[in-house]
Amino acid sequence: MKRHSYLIPFSRFHRSILFLALIAKKNAPKAKGYPEKIEEKISYALAFYEDQLLPHFESEKNKVFDVFSGKDAELDELILSIKEERRTICELFEELKRDECNFILFHTIGEQLEKHVRREERELFQMIQEKCKKLLSALEV
């Protein structure tokens, strides 16, 4: 299903998150222009978390979760579950800040980020497009 124009900016940023998830995993492929050493990857990830991921989470909260909450019980349940995933991801990043040599934790963050983004794209955004067509039309950009 084609992504609605209102959701496209979020989907585009999800690619950056998926890339971070990829480089966080063990045996990640080398990527031109990105750190190769694990310590540098972790530094990159922590900066990305502070400078880009947290603002993205806040923007999605305001422009997606808050906008589409209360429209459908199943959608509300999914949003609540995704919010819980975000709390877990943030806790993992905060733990990584305290222990920047925890390579196993870094790998876990990569796995959690990938799972989270895939769920938003495949479940949340799909459900919004199916259940909130009128509201999306009113938000047309």
pLDDT at 1 > cutoff 80:
no
Through-space distance between the first and last CA atoms of the chain, rounded to whole angstroms: 18
Q: What's the pLDDT score for residue 29?
A: 83
Compute the residue count for the chain: 141
Residue 59 Cα distances to 7, 31, 52, 53, 56, angstroms: 12, 28, 11, 10, 5
Whole-model pTM: value is 0.93
CB atoms within 10 A of CB 3: 15
User: So what's the pLDDT on residue 31?
Assistant: 80
Neighbours of 103 (CB within 10 A): 16
* C-alpha 94, offset from chain centre: 16
Query: Is 141's pLDDT higher than 70?
Result: no
